[in-house]
Amino acid sequence: MKGKTTTMLILVIMLSLTIPTAFSANDNFSVDYTFELATGGCGEFLIKDTQLQAIPGEPLIPYRSCA
């Protein structure tokens, strides 16, 4: 009986957390990022405070170190 009550409580909590998002006016499921452009030394555009990570066989991606 206690296990059934705990399961029911967890389901009610999960449902109460998902209802506000279901009726939200915002139907966008993505994250909006804002980037500032900077020019590299050779005229290429980069994202400010990043460098290009070049791994053979993979596309060039902007990389920002943690330090």
pLDDT, tens only, 33-62: 788 888 767 777 778 888 788 889 988 888
Number of domains in the chain: 1
CA-CA distance, 49 to 23, in Å (whole number)? 38
What pTM value is reported for the model? 0.35
Residue pointed to by tokens 């399961």: 7
The domain containing residue 29 runs over which residues?
2-63
Model pLDDT, residue 12: 92
Q: How many other CB atoms sit within 10 Å of the CB of residue 49?
A: 10
